[in-house]
Amino acid sequence: MSNYQNITLQTDQNTLILTINRPDKLNALNTQTLAEIKEAVYAAQSQKDVYGIIITGAGEKAFVAGADISEFKDFNIEEGKILAGSGHEIFNLIERSEKPIIAAVNGFALGGGCELAMACHLRVASENARFGQPEVNLGIIPGYGGTQRLIQLIGKTKALELLMTADMIKAPQALDLGLVNYVVPQEELIAKSQEISQKIYSKSPKAIAKIIKCVNAYFDGPTDGFEFEIEAFGSCCNTPDFIEGTSAFIEKRKADFDR
């Protein structure tokens, strides 16, 4: 494992807790931080003792308050495209992870921070969480998938409003809109995220991976999500997980899936 400068890693109950650790910068995403997140998430895919990931930010003020603007304020067109492309690659890696990834959002999740949270499979927010895409204030737009994932999660009408006004929303409104799954007190944030993770871990890991792929296929333009589901369903049959799951159901016992 690399020696990271801007993130910390801790494994607890088979969950890798990835903490973005730049509290003096409100955990803003610079190039180094994005590279470290990418490496850690990629490495976790092959770690047998890691069943899932929780991504959070250091401190109580911010999950990620945005990108590090000082890094790109003088960019030209090509440099901007390279930066956005790199962000898309990293956040796609998170979204397509076969292991569940939960964003534990503590405080501000703005710009790239909101985009990072949206790339995760589920989102748990603390009561002081704030979400927004304020890029238009800087004369730019979200570049890490925000214009696409925000629509997927809350619908076109409200997404357009938030993208064009740069308004921030509080955790209760984010819950009402479907942007987050739960809102909990700050001190319960990681515990609630772990509770969800452990429930997922009790299910078939192969089926969970297929669920993630099928749901993502719905938003993949060239892919027929229904046909993808048919193929995925068929591939589940006659696997050890399928045999164990169906046997446990018939025998009226709890399934014990191998990992």
Q: If you compute the radius of gyration of the chain from its CA atoms, what whole number of angstroms results?
A: 19
Q: Which entry of 78, 135, 229, 244 is annotated as an active-site residue?
A: 135
Residue 121 · residue 76 · CB < 8 Å: no
Residue 115 annotated to the active site? yes
Element (H, E) at 167: none
Cβ partners under 8 Å of residue 237, min gap 6: none
Residue 97 · residue 51 · CB < 8 Å: no
Cβ partners under 8 Å of residue 251, min gap 6: none
Residue 135 annotated to the active site? yes
Q: Which entry of 71, 95, 115, 231 is annotated as an active-site residue?
A: 115
Give the integer Cα–Cα distance in Å for 129 and 104.
10
Least Cα distance to 16 among 63, 60, 54 occurs for 54
Q: Quickly count: other Cβ atoms within 10 Å of residue 227's Cβ.
A: 10
Element (H, E) at 63: strand 62-64
Residues designated as active site: 115, 135
